[in-house]
Amino acid sequence: MEACNQQRALIPSYLDGELSEAQAAPLRKHLLACQDCRNQAQGEKSLKAWFRTEGPAEVPEGFAARIARRAFDGDTGEPVAPLPAQNEAPILRFVLAATSVAAAVLLILAITLRSSDLPSSDRLRADSDSPQQLEEVLRELDRVNAKAALEAERK
């Protein structure tokens, strides 16, 4: 069993042609004598059968001439921009534009509201003054009315 474990570990390298003759000879001898290890080797061979070559790869016509021309024209062959960045660009542009528009609208609103708060003349107005100022205005009105009434009585 120990011999089997040792030899089995060598089977993939043996089938890959990577063993020296000094390693391969005892393994071949062992495989002739051991059915289990032969089965193991057969399984490894079965796996290799999935990697059949489909024949020579097809090369597009004029490929070499095209590449040589492009190379001498200074084409680096590097992707101009990574694919994700290309996808993100329109979204990013939209977000930036929308943010700029929103900021401009907010600025205009703030200026408008601020200017509407400022008094439009020197005169005090009841609808926009503080309660203390209103009281003063009312007192002034009372005084004016009282004075007018007094003068009317005198007449």
Partner 1 sequence: MGTPMMEPAQAEDSQLVQETLAGNRMSFQLLVERYEGRLFSLARHYTRNPVDAEDIVQEAFLKAFRRLDSFDGRSSFYTWIYRIAVNTVLDVMKRRGRSPVQNVEDPELVGEARPVSCPAPDAGLHTQEVSEITHRVLEELPEIFRTVLVLREFEEQSYQAIADLLGISIGTVESRLFRARAKFKQKLLALYPEFGGA
Binding site for partner 1 (CB under 8 A): 12-13, 16, 18, 43-54, 56-60, 63-65, 67-72, 75-79, 82-83
**Which C-beta is closer to partner 1: that of 87 or that of 145?**
87
Q: Residues for the chain: how many in total? A: 155
Cβ neighbour number for residue 88 with a 10 Å cutoff: 12
> What is the closest distance, in whole angstroms, from the C-beta atom of residue 14 to partner 1 in the complex?
12
**Which C-beta is closer to partner 1: that of 45 or that of 143?**
45
> What is the closest distance, in whole angstroms, from the C-beta atom of residue 55 to partner 1 in the complex?
8
> What is the closest distance, in whole angstroms, from the C-beta atom of residue 81 to partner 1 in the complex?
11
- How far apart CA 8 and CA 31 sit, in angstroms, is 9
- How far apart CA 153 and CA 155 sit, in angstroms, is 5
Which amino acid would we find at residue 30?
Answer: H
